[in-house]
Chains A and B, each alone.
Chain A
Amino acid sequence: MSSVGLMVTCMNDALFPDTGRAVVTLLRRLGVEVGFPAKQTCCGQPMVNTGYLDEAVPLLRNHLDAFVGCEAVVVPSGSCAGSVRHQHRILAERSGDPGLVRAVEQAPPVYELTEYLVDVLGVVDVGAYFPHRVTYHPTCHSLRMLGVGDRPTRLLRGVRGLTLLELPAADECCGFGGTFAVKNADTSVAMGSDKARHVRESGAEVLVAGDNSCLMHIGGLLSRERSGIRVMHLAEILAATETTRTRTTEPEAVTAR
Chain B
Amino acid sequence: MSGTFLGIPKFPAAAKKALSDSQLRRNLAHATGTIRAKRAAVVGEVADWEQLRLAGEAIKNRVLRHLPHYLEQLEKSLTAAGATVHWAVDAAEANRIVVDIAQRHGTDEVVKVKSMATQEVELNTALEAAGIRAWETDLAELIVQLGDDLPSHILVPAIHRNRAEVREIFLGKMGRVGKAAPDDLTDEPKRLAEAARTHLREKFLRAKVAVSGANFAVAETGTLTVVESEGNGRMCLTLPEVLVSVVGIEKVLPTFQDLDVMLQLLPRSSTGERMNPYTSMWTGVTPGDGPQEVHVILLDNGRTNVLADPTGRQALRCIRCSACLNVCPVYERTGGHAYGSVYPGPIGAILTPMLRGSDPQSDSLPYASSLCGACFEVCPVRIDIPAVLVHLRSRVVDEHKEASALPSVQDMAFKAASWTLASSRRTAAAEKAAGLGGRILGKRARTAPGGRAVLGPLPGPAAGWSQSRDIPVPAAESFRDWWKRTEGGTRDTGSAPTARRKGGRS
Contacts and interface: CB of A to CB of B under 8 A. Distances in A.
Interface of A: 8, 10, 12-17, 20-21, 24-25, 34-36, 38-42, 44, 46-53, 55-56, 58-59, 61-62, 66, 87, 140-141, 143-145, 171-173, 175-193, 216-217, 219-221, 223-224, 228-232, 247-248, 250-252, 255, 257
A228 B450 CA distance: 9
A114 B397 CA distance: 35
Contacts of B329: 172-173, 175, 191
Interface residues of B, number: 76
B173 to A, nearest CB: 32
A184 B12 contact: yes
**B interface majority secondary structure:** helix
Given A186-B16, A223-B449, A15 B418 contact: no
Interface string B380-402: 00000000001011111110000
B371 A180 contact: yes
Given A36-B483, A252-B496, A255-B493, A177 B333 contact: no
A47 B393 contact: no
A177 B370 contact: yes
A209 to B, nearest CB: 14
Contacts of B454: 220, 223
Contacts of B12: 183-187
B314 to A, nearest CB: 14
Given A36-B479, A40-B424, A47-B417, 12 more contacts: A20-B479, A41-B424, A50-B397, A180-B371, A184-B12, A186-B19, A188-B370, A219-B472, A220-B472, A221-B470, A231-B450, A257-B489
A210 to B, nearest CB: 15
Contacts of A53: 394, 397
Given A177-B370, A189-B468, A16 B15 contact: no
A23 to B, nearest CB: 10
A175 B448 CA distance: 21
**A interface majority secondary structure:** helix
Contact of A17 (B371, B398, B478): B478
B469 A228 contact: no
27 contacts: A13-B478, A13-B480, A15-B472, A16-B475, A20-B479, A38-B424, A51-B366, A51-B393, A51-B398, A55-B418, A58-B419, A140-B373, A140-B374, A141-B373, A145-B373, A171-B374, A172-B329, A183-B464, A186-B15, A192-B469, A216-B472, A221-B469, A224-B456, A247-B450, A251-B451, A251-B500, A257-B493
Given A48-B390, A175-B370, A190 B333 contact: yes
Given A12-B479, A36-B483, A50 B424 contact: no
Interface in B464-487: 464-472, 474-475, 477-480, 482-484
B34 interface: no
A133 to B, nearest CB: 13
B367 to A, nearest CB: 5
A193 B16 CA distance: 15
Interface in B439-453: 448-452
Given A41-B421, A183-B367, A15 B474 contact: yes
Given A61-B422, A224-B456, A187 B333 contact: yes
A41 B427 contact: yes
